Amino acid sequence: MSAKGTVLKRVKQSRKANARNKHYKSLVKTVTKKVLNESKKEEANKSATKAFSAIDKAASKGIIHKKKAANQKAKISKHLNNIK
């Protein structure tokens, strides 16, 4: 493979990875907002389960840092504990 071919392959790979990462980051933001906007305990718990799963998946793939994932999960847990 020529040098030009290698560069083109790297561009293609990085665009594909960028799209994948963007999808997971967007998903994490969406599910987090959904939980934080809930005011009913049972609805929030259902949403929180999905949010924790999405956050853990993104962290395990290295898309978000594990400490950022922990901070987001703590924020959600704090919200759940404050709901009456």
76: which residues sit within 8 A by CB, 6+ positions away?
32, 35, 36, 48, 51, 52
Domain boundaries, the chain: 3-82
Q: pLDDT tens across 21-74, in order?
A: 999 999 999 999 999 999 999 999 999 999 999 999 999 999 999 999 999 999
pLDDT tier, 2 (very low <50, low <70, confident <90, very high otherwise): confident
If you search the block for the tokens 């980051």, which residue do you land on? 25
- Of the CA atoms within 13 Å of residue 74, those in its CB half-sphere come to 6
CATH number of 3-82: 1.20.58.110
pLDDT tier, 84 (very low <50, low <70, confident <90, very high otherwise): confident
Least confident stretch, 1-5, 21-25, 65-69, 75-79: 1-5
Chain CA centroid to CA 20, Å: 11
CB 62 within 8 A of CB 18: no
